[in-house]
Amino acid sequence: MPRLERPLVIVSDTHLGPESPARIAQDLSTLIADNAGAEIVLSGDLFDLSLATRHEQSAEFLVALLDRAPELGAAIHRHVAAGAPITLLPGNHDAALGERPVADVFRDRLGLAEDAPVRVAPWFVRRGDVHVEHGHVYDPDNAPVHPLAAWCGRTEPLGIALTRRFVAATGASDFAHAQNATPVSSLARAFRLYGVRAPGMIGRYFKTAIELCAESGAALAPHAEHERRLGDGRLFAFAGDVGIAPGDVAALIGRVPRPTHLRSQDVFFRLYFDRVLATLLFVASASAIPRRPTASLLALASFAYLAGSTLRRKDRYGNLPRLRLADGAARIRELTAARTVVLGHTHHSVVEDGYLNTGSFAFPRKEGRPYATVDEHGLAELRSQNGA
- What contacts 229, CB < 8 A, 6 or more positions away? none
- State the pLDDT at residue 290: 82
CATH architecture classification, 8-153+218-264+318-385: 4-Layer Sandwich (3.60)
Q: Minimum mean pLDDT among 168-182, 251-265, 357-371: which range?
A: 168-182
What does the mean pLDDT of the chain come to?
Answer: 89
Q: Minimum mean pLDDT among 60-74, 78-92, 188-202, 356-370: which range?
A: 188-202
C-alpha count within 13 angstroms, C-beta hemisphere, residue 187: 7
- pLDDT above 90: residue 158: yes
Residue 237 near residue 122, CB atoms below 8 Å: no
How far does CA 44 lie from the centroid of its chain?
Answer: 8
- State the pLDDT at residue 202: 77
- State the pLDDT at residue 22: 93
- What contacts 365, CB < 8 A, 6 or more positions away? 349, 359, 384
Instruction: List Cβ<8 Å contacts ≥24 apart for 350-356.
Output: 350/322, 350/326, 351/382, 352/326, 354/329, 354/330, 355/326, 355/329, 355/330, 356/380, 356/381, 356/382
Q: Minimum mean pLDDT among 10-24, 26-40, 104-118, 179-193: which range?
A: 179-193
What are the C-alpha distances in Å from 91 to residues 160, 312, 367? 11, 31, 25
Please state the rounded mean pLDDT for residues 371-382: 95
- State the pLDDT at residue 196: 67
More confident position, 114 or 215: 215
CA distance 388 to 372: 16
- pLDDT above 80: residue 376: yes
Nearest CA-CA partner of 51 in 142, 175, 148: 175
* Domain spans, the chain: 8-153+218-264+318-385, 282-315
Band of residue 293 on the pLDDT scale cut at 50, 70, 90: confident
Nearest CA-CA partner of 130 in 378, 383, 384: 378
Specify the DSSP element, H or E, that contains 42: strand 39-42
How far does CA 59 lie from the centroid of its chain?
Answer: 19
- State the pLDDT at residue 117: 95
Nearest CA-CA partner of 238 in 226, 254, 256, 253: 253
Band of residue 368 on the pLDDT scale cut at 50, 70, 90: very high
CA distance 259 to 277: 24
Please state the rounded mean pLDDT for residues 350-355: 95
- pLDDT above 50: residue 388: no
Query: What are the tens digits of pLDDT across the range 238-258?
Result: 999 999 999 999 999 999 999
- State the pLDDT at residue 138: 97
Please state the rounded mean pLDDT for residues 201-230: 91
Residue 287 near residue 311, CB atoms below 8 Å: no
- State the pLDDT at residue 374: 96
- pLDDT above 60: residue 181: no
- State the pLDDT at residue 307: 86
- State the pLDDT at residue 46: 97
Please state the rounded mean pLDDT for residues 126-131: 95
Query: What are the tens digits of pLDDT across the range 36-85?
Result: 999 999 999 999 999 998 888 999 999 999 999 999 999 999 999 999 99
